[in-house]
Each structure stands twice: as C-alpha cells, then as structure tokens.
Amino acid sequence: MKALCIANDPAGLADHQQGRAVAIESRYPLTVGKRYAVVGMSIVERAFFLLVRDDAGGPCFAPAGFFEIFDAGVPQGWRFALGAGVHASGRALWSAPTVATWGYRELIDDAFHLQALLEFEPAALTIFDRYVDAAEAAGT
C-alpha cells in the first residue's frame, strides 16, 4: 500500500492527530507530493501513525494526518497486535502508550524488533528495507 504525503509539519496537525511530543517536534523528512510505501501502522496514545521509509532512508512512524485519505486492503502477510496502551489510563499511558500495531511479521511477532528499528540497528533495518523494497516493487 502507498500513501501520498500532503504535509510534514506536526504543528499543522489537528489536536487529535498529535502525539505528546508535538511541542518539540520539527518537520519530518518527508516530501509533500511523494508517495510512500506503508509497511506498518500504529496507534500510540490517541494518534494514528504510518510506518514508512523517510527521505533520509530510515524508518519513520509519521502521523497519518500527513497523508491523503485513502482506502486500501490490508496487505497480504500483515499481522496485528493490541498493545498495553489499550488498557492504560492516566500515568500508565506514559509508560505503555502503544494501543495497537499492524504490519509485517517481525514488527508484530518479535518483541525486540520495533525498538531495534527505532535504534537503527543494522539487522532490524535490513528487515525493514526488505519489506519497503517489496512494497515499492509491487506498486501497491
């Protein structure tokens, strides 16, 4: 699945699309008008994010509000998991903010993959790149 980027500045998002770090976030390395292969999705706190490869070549959970609204089927092979955030409230939400995640197998099944991806560990990046390359080649 691909999504068209229509914005990259979190300050321009509606309140319900912003995460708690919006006050310190800068523009995301995404190009307005460019289509990005989506290889995962996540709801963190109250905001919905798409996992794409940003313009610097790394993994990026970008707010869904940065992309044009689209309809698409769930890509073949994707998995789904509820996170602890589905039960969290108040202070607990700060320590367990992820409500739900969809995406490729390792993103869901490997408890350490997401953190390794966010820390740019080479093995995790290789897996991520493989899925992005396949999604881009499929043209979906």
Among 81, 11, 72, 80, which Cα is nearest to 38's?
A: 72
Q: Which pLDDT score, from 0 to 100, does residue 15 have?
A: 72
- With 60 as the cut, is the pLDDT of residue 23 above it? no
Q: What is the pLDDT of residues 25-35, one digit of tens each?
A: 678 899 999 99
Q: Which domain holds residue 70?
A: 2-138
The structure's pTM equals: 0.87
Q: Which pLDDT score, from 0 to 100, does residue 14 have?
A: 74
43: left (phi over 0), alpha (psi -120 to 50) or beta: beta
* Residue type at position 117: L
Number of domains in the chain: 1
